[in-house]
């Protein structure tokens, strides 16, 4: 007698496989599922599937070892809601290929067809994540479907330069006739990305322009074999074609213009026209019509970030007031922007003492501040955790999560754990920078000084072996290579150390100049 079949195991794909899965499920990517080893090899080597169909990028599903034996797998979103059923046709090992995909030499992959289990609900701006069929369907009335459609793929706001490029492309595509415009906004699943800033430019686009949000997977790096030129453009062209576009304009860093033309592209990729700002005329013009020395190119993202950080309005020659206001909302001046101030260092190095003093100074400046001190966190958030590597990582990640949420609401989180591992600190930086800024202070007081202080008598016990895995004695401390400030408290007074950090925060713009 056989009982009811066991439910297949569940798995949440990583960000790139998730992006591929979404494109497969919504029909933007004309593949039935994830690729086998020979399909992957064929795509990487020849830019074609084994049957000769041109296809630009490998679409693979990396899975943990325990899934290798599964016949079927339920793929879920990050919250565990089922998205698709994978019927496994092949299990393969990335190390079997003679090159590395995304730098991985090992790791298992599952290949096979996927079938939609339930329409996805995950992702920021889900209502704008329109499937290609939905967009195509809305054009099948009257003459719309016969008009050329220009898709504009962008992962960044549309400033004057990009808007001029779109207008030029419309003229080129329509030759005087009407053109439909579809903005394909490439944004991460879990972040609004450039979506609000692109939507803010809607009144400056042709009437009835449409918008669809999607997440394009990063193009894998394939060491040992040169990636074919225009690979990312070709993937974008396939996606644009699925949405019904006849032409594609890609809005990117002007220093890295898209490869054009792209052989085999199912839509025509339009080369972006070169526009420059004519300082004398006070207007944007085609670059070849502006006298050398009187043109200026648009602000770089770093210049934009710097102006926003100082609370200055972006210049009107560069962008519209609508886009500028939207960017200022997302990146308020640093005096109002969320900040994770993160101290790391050995036990007894001075983290808690300095953190307390700095938190007081921040409070006096009028900002809201939360102190997440190591000892308090260990009692409240992380009670029960040990000092094993995995428990330390969990402890530090929890601190990072809370700090990032504080940052999301414009507050300052001052954190002071040992945080001995570089990789975990990097994770915290990434979480914090998603919602605000991150500032890392390495309290680099040497071990001998910390041990001589031995405020809690822990070093003596650690030397006697009474405390195992003690940082600096019997457990590692990875000194940061990315600290924004390094402090040694060997000879400095507490007040001096606090003042050094406060001054750095003032200089960076996170505290008003006169606070203290």
Ligand X SMILES: Nc1ncnc2c1ncn2[C@@H]1O[C@H](COP(=O)(O)OP(=O)(O)O)[C@@H](O)[C@H]1O
Nearer to ligand PPS, 265 or 354 (CB): 354
Burial of 275 (0-12, 13-18, 19+ CB in 10 A): buried
Nearer to ligand PPS, 308 or 419 (CB): 419
Candidates 121, 456, 478, 513; binder of ligand PPS (CB under 6 A) is: 456
Long-range contacts of 139-145 (CB under 8 A, 24+ apart): 139/180, 139/244, 144/180, 145/244
Q: Please give the residue ranges that form the binding site for ligand X (CB under 6 A).
A: 345, 347-354, 416, 453, 455, 489, 492-494, 497
Partner whose footprint covers residue 378, from ligand PPS, ligand X, none (CB < 5 to 8 Å by kind): ligand PPS
| Residues in Cβ contact with 338 at an 8 Å cutoff, skipping those fewer than 6 apart | 406, 407, 408, 409, 410, 411, 412, 413, 432, 435, 436, 437
Nearest partner of 464 among 455, 474, 456, judged by Cα: 474
Q: Rounded to whole angstroms, how far apart are CA atoms 205 and 167? A: 8
Give min distance, CB of 501 to ligand X, in A: 10
Sign of CA dihedral 318, 322, 324, 327: negative
420 makes contact with ligand PPS (CB under 6 A): yes
Helices 494-508 and 351-364: angle between axes, nearest 10 degrees: 50
Partner whose footprint covers residue 456, from ligand PPS, ligand X, none (CB < 5 to 8 Å by kind): ligand PPS
Give min distance, CB of 490 to ligand X, in A: 8
> Residues annotated as binding site?
345-352
Q: Rounded to whole angstroms, how far apart are CA atoms 392 and 146? A: 61
Q: Rounded to whole angstroms, how far apart are CA atoms 316 and 314? A: 6
Nearer to ligand PPS, 393 or 503 (CB): 393
Give min distance, CB of 426 to ligand PPS, in A: 14
Task: State how far the alpha carbon of 271 is from the alpha carbons of 57, 250, 274, 316, in Å.
Answer: 22, 8, 9, 26
Give min distance, CB of 474 to ligand PPS, in A: 8
Near ligand PPS in 332-371, by CB under 6 A: 347-348, 352
Partner whose footprint covers residue 492, from ligand X, ligand PPS, none (CB < 5 to 8 Å by kind): ligand X
Longest dimension (CA), the chain: 87
Nearer to ligand PPS, 256 or 390 (CB): 390
Instruction: State the residue number with the nearest CB to ligand X.
Output: 350
> Strand, coil or helix: what is 251?
strand
Partner whose footprint covers residue 453, from ligand X, ligand PPS, none (CB < 5 to 8 Å by kind): ligand X
Partner whose footprint covers residue 392, from ligand X, ligand PPS, none (CB < 5 to 8 Å by kind): ligand PPS
Nearer to ligand PPS, 13 or 420 (CB): 420
Cis peptide before 256 (omega within 30 of 0): no
Task: State how far the alpha carbon of 34 is from the alpha carbons of 303, 381, 462, in Å.
Answer: 41, 40, 51
The site string for ligand PPS over 364-383 (x = CB under 6 A, - otherwise) reads: ----------xx--x-----
Give min distance, CB of 351 to ligand X, in A: 3
Give min distance, CB of 485 to ligand X, in A: 13
> Residues annotated as binding site for ATP?
345-352
Nearer to ligand X, 225 or 452 (CB): 452
Of 234-242, 282-290, 468-476, 495-503, the window that binds ligand PPS (rule: CB under 6 A) is 468-476
Q: What is the separation of C-alpha 141 from the centre of its chain, rounded to a whole number of angstroms?
A: 38
Give min distance, CB of 394 to ligand PPS, in A: 8
- The partner residues of 212 in beta bridges, in order of sequence, read 184
Backbone angles phi, psi at 339, to 5 degrees: -140, 135
Q: Rounded to whole angstroms, how far apart are CA atoms 197 and 182? A: 16
The 180-186 sheet, strands edge to edge? 210-214, 180-186, 149-154, 247-251, 268-269
Give min distance, CB of 471 to ligand PPS, in A: 4
Candidates 150, 323, 418, 511; binder of ligand PPS (CB under 6 A) is: 418
Nearer to ligand PPS, 395 or 497 (CB): 395
Site residues (CB under 6 A) for ligand PPS?
347-348, 352, 374-375, 378, 387, 392, 395-396, 417-420, 456, 458, 467, 469-471, 475
């Amino acid at each position: 007698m056989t009982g009811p079949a066991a439910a297949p195991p569940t798995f949440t794909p990583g960000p790139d496989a998730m992006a591929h899965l979404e494109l497969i499920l919504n029909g933007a990517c004309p593949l039935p599922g994830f690729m086998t080893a020979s399909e992957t090899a064929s795509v990487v080597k020849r830019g074609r599937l084994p049957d000769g169909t041109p296809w630009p990028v490998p679409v693979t599903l990396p899975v943990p070892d325990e899934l290798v034996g599964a016949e079927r797998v339920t793929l879920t979103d990050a919250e565990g809601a089922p998205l698709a059923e994978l019927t496994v046709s092949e299990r393969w090992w990335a190390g079997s290929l003679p090159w590395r995909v995304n730098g991985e030499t090992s790791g298992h992959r599952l290949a096979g067809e996927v079938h939609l289990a339930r329409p996805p609900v995950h992702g920021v701006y889900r209502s704008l994540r329109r499937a290609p069929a939905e967009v195509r369907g809305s054009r099948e009335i009257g003459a719309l479907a016969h008009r050329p459609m220009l898709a504009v793929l962008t992962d960044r706001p549309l400033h004057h330069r990009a808007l001029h490029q779109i207008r030029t492309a419309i003229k080129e595509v329509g030759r005087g006739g009407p053109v439909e415009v579809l903005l394909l906004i490439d944004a991460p699943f879990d972040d609004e990305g450039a979506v609000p800033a692109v939507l803010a430019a809607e009144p400056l686009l042709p009437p009835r322009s449409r918008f669809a949000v999607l997440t394009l997977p990063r193009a894998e790096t394939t060491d040992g074999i040169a990636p074919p030129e225009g690979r990312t453009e070709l993937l974008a062209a396939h996606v644009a074609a699925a949405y019904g576009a006849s032409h594609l304009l890609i809005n990117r860093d002007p220093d890295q213009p898209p490869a054009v033309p792209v052989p085999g592209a199912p839509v025509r990729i339009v080369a972006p026209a070169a526009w420059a700002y004519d300082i004398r005329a006070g207007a944007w013009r085609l670059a070849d019509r502006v006298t050398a020395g009187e043109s200026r190119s648009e602000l770089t993202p770093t210049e934009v970030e710097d102006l926003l950080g100082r609370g200055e309005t972006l210049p009107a020659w560069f962008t519209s007031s609508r886009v500028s206001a939207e960017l200022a909302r997302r990146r308020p001046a640093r005096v109002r922007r969320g900040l994770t101030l993160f101290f790391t260092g050995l036990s007894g190095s001075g983290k808690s003492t300095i953190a307390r003093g700095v938190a007081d100074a921040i409070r006096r400046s009028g900002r809201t501040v939360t102190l997440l001190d190591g000892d308090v966190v260990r009692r409240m958030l992380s009670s029960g955790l040990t000092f094993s590597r995995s428990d330390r990582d969990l402890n530090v990640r929890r601190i990072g999560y809370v700090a990032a949420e504080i940052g999301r609401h414009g507050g300052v989180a001052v954190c002071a754990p040992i945080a001995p591992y570089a990789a975990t600190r990097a994770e915290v930086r990434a979480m914090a920078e998603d919602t605000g800024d991150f500032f890392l202070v390495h309290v680099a007081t040497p071990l001998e000084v910390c041990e001589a202080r031995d405020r809690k008598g822990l070093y003596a016990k650690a030397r006697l072996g009474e405390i195992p895995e003690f940082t600096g004695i019997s457990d590692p401390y990875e000194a940061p290579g990315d600290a924004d400030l390094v402090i040694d408290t060997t000879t400095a007074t507490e007040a001096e150390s606090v003042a050094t950090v406060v001054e750095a925060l003032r200089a960076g713009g996170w505290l008003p100049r006169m606070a203290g």
